[in-house]
Amino acid sequence: MLPKTGINIGIIFNSTKPYNEFKELLLPSLLSQDLNVVNIFTFQNKIQDPEKRFIDIKSRLIKKFHIIYHLAMIWKLRDSSISYKFRALNELGTNWERAKNLNNFHVYNCNRSWIEKFIIRLFARKTLLKLLKKVLEHLFFYYLSTKHKLILDKIKILIVPYGARLSLEEDFLIWFAKQQKIKTISIQENWDNLSSKKFIYGETDLFLTWGKQSSQHLRDIQNYKAKILEIGCIRMQQFYNYFDTRLVITKTQSKSKIDSRLKNILVIGNGSLNDVDLYRYVSEMDILQLFSQSKGLNFVFRPHPFSRLDMNKSFTSKHNKYLKIDIPESNEKNIYRMKLIARADLVVGFYSTVLLEALIMGKVVAIPSFLWRDLSYKPEDYLNDSAHYQGLRNSPNVYNFSSKVNFEQFINDLPMPVSNLNSRLIVEACCANQDTVKSITRIINELVTSR
């Protein structure tokens, strides 16, 4: 253990999700080094923490300018990835543009008037976008720095769990930290953060990414110029560790059938409206007939733990003796989901991060793209078109189905997962297999001792 440093490490939390992950997986390591951790919350909470600080910018005018800037950025750079294109059309597209690109990856927002869309699209021009940023920083952020002048008091290093959520407070604090010469570090929170949600407003001094693929997105899509280090992911590392400690028997690259024991099929939701259709298909359609024909199939449907829809009631109100519904607990630990995946012979999901978790654990995964093929944009194309899924499209354990018949035959004839160097390298390019907590702790200590 290092001697007490007296260094205050600030961490911005704009959601309970990163706070719970950091509290469970990272904060104990930082505290063991006698670093003083100051949690800065941008949302109301009941967390008991004597060192915590709180910032909530209520000005509607500043929030409006901030939202306009980010939406204008997305429109300006909408061709950076297919996800940004759909997001831009969702917020600012015309009816004709939306119809031409109709998809099930974004539910269209019809609340904006045509004049509001016109103004935001106008600000997407380079000169006006620069002007908007100058107004934000030289007028509004300067004003906020006088109002919240003690929010970063005595903090020497500011950590940003980067979840790509639209947060005025986060953008302001990164800017304010730079004004005060405070070192800043972003830590990638989710797999698709750098290719699908928002564009980075202000660079931190260092960005810690999941792996080579995310670093490439950071450079090519986000135009990030500062230092990047690839350190994996604190929660994904638990999946690597769990898998490595289990005795796994594989048959090299052969596609031989899984034995005749009970087969466990885990169906997971991604938190969107697609989950309703996916559940309906599994519980009411062809899958039941498939079950009666092949026997020995055990289905578990798991809604997304951070669903944008409150679908738990609709799921629990339905009863099917062949299908178990596993509702995530609010305080659930990673270990529960790891065990759920470990028991599965097949993980089925519609473009969810859980598919990456399953591949890390050496599982076969299937994407049921056949469910939404009546739209302009075909779901099966997303595997190749999406920036964060492109790395996995060559994995021998990923199957993408545009046909119900082929999918159901696949379940009846499940292949063994391929476990070789190539399959592992494909997954590790998306998320490095490293001791992420140890790496983050070492990096922070190096910054502390170099001051």
Please tell me whether residues 301 and 380 are part of one structural domain: yes
Please tell me whether residues 100 and 178 are part of one structural domain: no
Token code pair at residue 229: 């280090």
Q: Tell me the residue range of the domain where 327 lies.
A: 238-430
Q: Quick check: is 339 in a domain?
A: yes
Whole-number pLDDT of residue 202: 92
Whole-number pLDDT of residue 5: 54
Whole-number pLDDT of residue 243: 87
> What is the count of structural domains for the chain?
3
Phi, then psi, of 193 in degrees rounded to 5: -55, -30
Please tell me whether residues 339 and 380 are part of one structural domain: yes
Q: pLDDT tens digits for the chain (451 residues)?
A: 334 557 899 999 999 889 989 999 999 999 888 889 999 999 877 777 777 899 999 999 999 999 999 999 999 999 999 999 999 999 999 989 998 999 888 877 778 899 999 999 999 999 999 999 999 999 999 999 999 999 999 999 999 999 999 999 999 999 999 999 999 999 999 999 999 999 999 999 999 999 999 999 999 999 999 999 999 999 999 999 988 876 444 433 344 444 555 788 999 987 777 788 888 888 776 666 666 556 677 888 888 765 545 555 555 555 666 788 887 776 777 788 899 999 999 999 999 899 999 999 999 999 999 988 888 999 999 999 999 998 899 999 999 999 998 998 898 888 999 999 999 999 999 999 999 999 999 999 999 887 6
DSSP string, 12-54: EESSHHHHHHHHHHTHHHHHHTT-EEEEEESS------TT-EE
The one-character DSSP state at 372 is G
Are 269 and 440 contacting, i.e. CB atoms less than 8 angstroms apart?
A: no
For residue 339, which of 326, 352, 349, 350 has the smallest C-alpha distance?
326
Please tell me whether residues 51 and 66 are part of one structural domain: no
Please tell me whether residues 305 and 260 are part of one structural domain: yes
For residue 117, which of 79, 88, 158 has the smallest C-alpha distance?
88
Report the DSSP beta bridge partners of residue 301.
267, 325
Whole-number pLDDT of residue 251: 39
Phi, then psi, of 224 in degrees rounded to 5: -75, 130
Please tell me whether residues 250 and 267 are part of one structural domain: yes
Compute how many other C-beta atoms are within 10 angstroms of the C-beta atom of residue 112: 14
Phi, then psi, of 40 in degrees rounded to 5: -110, 115
Q: Quick check: is 96 in a domain?
A: yes
